[in-house]
């Protein structure tokens, strides 16, 4: 129980309110090394606590009745979800539940897959990103993405970060230098790499590579940052650094994160949405969803009874 106590308080309450699931819950928790430094836990207290509070926040992204099809197969069924600005929204659910698919709808990365189709509307501010003649390139500059497996380009650290501005037409060296430095500082990588910006990004460690990918995503000056299980391939220490980073970044950006790790969702997010078999089962303030889930499926999932 000593280990559980070090994670966020709401989670503990969640396990208490689910009498049958307690054993599984503490098992899940103890399998995850406690990594959050104390300072972060106090900040977590500032999270919105009620659905009413969440609903009052201005929405950066609003999905309405979103259906998604891979050919004949429908992967998403009528998703309605608002993403509050400057907050972290976590998407959780078992594998294949559609949470990554939904994430990839938000910057139209699914367009790259042949035979896919989207119905419904997704508003970024007040513009429907799926209306005809949307500039997808412009959209992806405003909605950055970080992938599950760090995927730096086989180029120098500098070139990795400068790539986004470069393809957007920035040519001036001073401007690029400034962007690269700013983004590396923001992603808490600058001190580690400032003396070797011209070495290959592939020589960095896994955790550093992932932070480089975050810096690269920040370099296009996005409003929204999509993260598809950004820490799932990292060791606990690197995971903690990425989570700290998410805490820092949410002051500037709106973040949507897909995660398999429920402690992570509880630690970093303000709002959590639970997906199951292509349906959005429940969404609400993270504290509420983990302590007082409204749906039985949600409760079973977060207490570790399936998934």
Partner 1 sequence: MSTLAADKPGRPWAPLMSRLFAVACGACMLFCLALLGALLYKIFGFGWDRLNTAFITGKPSFMPAKSGILVPLVGSLYLIGLTAAIAVPVGVGAAVYLEEYAPLSRWRTIIQTNIANLAGVPSIVYGILGLGLFVRTIGLGRSVVAGALTMSLVVLPIVILSAQEALRAVPGTIRQASYALGATRWQTIWYQLLPASLPGILTGVILSLSRALGEAAPLVAIGVATVVRQVPENLFTDEFTALPLQIFYWTDMPDEAFHEAAAAAIIVLLTVLIGMNALAVFLRYKFGKRIQW
Q: What angle do CA 88, 256, 136 make, to 5 degrees?
A: 140
Residue 93's region, left for phi above 0, alpha for psi from -120 to 50, else beta, is: left
Binding test (CB under 8 A) with partner 1, winner from 216, 241, 250, 267: 216
**Site for partner 1, residues 92 to 131, rule: CB under 8 A:** 107, 109, 112, 114
| Residue 1 sits in the site that holds partner 1 (CB under 8 A) | no
Other Cβ atoms closer than 10 A to 23: 11
As a dihedral over the C-alpha atoms of residue 184, residue 186, residue 190, residue 191, rounded to 10 degrees, the angle is 180
3 vs 113, which CB is nearer to partner 1? 113
Total residues in contact with partner 1, by rule CB under 8 A: 29
| Token couple for 96 | 């294949």
Binding test (CB under 8 A) with partner 1, winner from 8, 187, 220, 272: 220
| Residue 266 sits in the site that holds partner 1 (CB under 8 A) | no
| Residue 134 sits in the site that holds partner 1 (CB under 8 A) | no
Place of tokens 């698919």: 101
Give Cα separations from 129 to 2, 71, 101, 185, 296 (angstroms).
Answer: 47, 21, 16, 31, 34
| Residue 189 sits in the site that holds partner 1 (CB under 8 A) | no
| Token couple for 16 | 């208490």
Binding test (CB under 8 A) with partner 1, winner from 145, 179, 193, 234: 145
Minimum Å gap between C-beta 106 and partner 1 is 11
Minimum Å gap between C-beta 187 and partner 1 is 15
Residues that bind partner 1 in the complex, under the rule CB under 8 A = 107, 109, 112, 114, 137-138, 140-141, 144-145, 147, 149, 151-155, 163-164, 166-168, 200, 202, 213, 216-217, 219-220
């Amino acid at each position: 129980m000593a280990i559980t106590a070090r994670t966020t308080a709401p989670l503990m309450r969640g396990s208490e309110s689910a009498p049958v699931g307690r054993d599984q819950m503490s098992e899940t928790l103890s399998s995850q090394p406690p990594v959050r430094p104390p300072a972060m836990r106090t900040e977590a207290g500032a999270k919105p606590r009620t659905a009413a509070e969440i609903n009052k926040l201005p929405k950066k992204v609003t999905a309405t009745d979103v259906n998604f099809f891979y050919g004949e197969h429908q992967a998403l069924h009528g998703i309605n979800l608002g993403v509050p600005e400057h907050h972290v929204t976590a998407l959780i659910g078992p594998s294949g539940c559609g949470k990554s698919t939904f994430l990839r709808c938000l910057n139209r990365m699914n367009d790259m897959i042949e035979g896919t189709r989207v119905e419904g509307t997704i508003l970024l501010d007040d513009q429907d990103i799926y209306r005809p003649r949307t500039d997808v390139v412009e959209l992806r500059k405003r909605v950055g993405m970080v992938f599950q497996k760090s995927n730096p380009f086989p180029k120098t650290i500098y070139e990795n970060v400068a790539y986004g501005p470069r393809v957007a037409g920035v040519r001036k060296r001073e401007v690029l230098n400034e962007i690269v430095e700013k983004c590396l500082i923001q992603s808490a990588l600058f001190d580690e790499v400032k003396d070797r910006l011209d070495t290959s990004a592939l020589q960095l460690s896994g955790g550093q590579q992932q932070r480089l990918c975050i810096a690269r995503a920040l370099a296009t000056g996005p409003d929204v940052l999509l993260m598809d299980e950004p820490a799932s391939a990292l060791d606990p220490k690197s995971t903690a650094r990425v989570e700290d980073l998410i805490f820092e970044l949410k002051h500037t950006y709106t973040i949507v994160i897909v995660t398999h790790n429920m402690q992570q969702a509880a630690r970093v997010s303000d709002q959590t949405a639970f997906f199951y078999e292509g349906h959005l089962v429940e969404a609400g303030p993270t504290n509420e969803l983990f302590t007082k889930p409204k749906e039985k499926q949600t409760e079973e999932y977060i207490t570790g009874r399936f998934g």
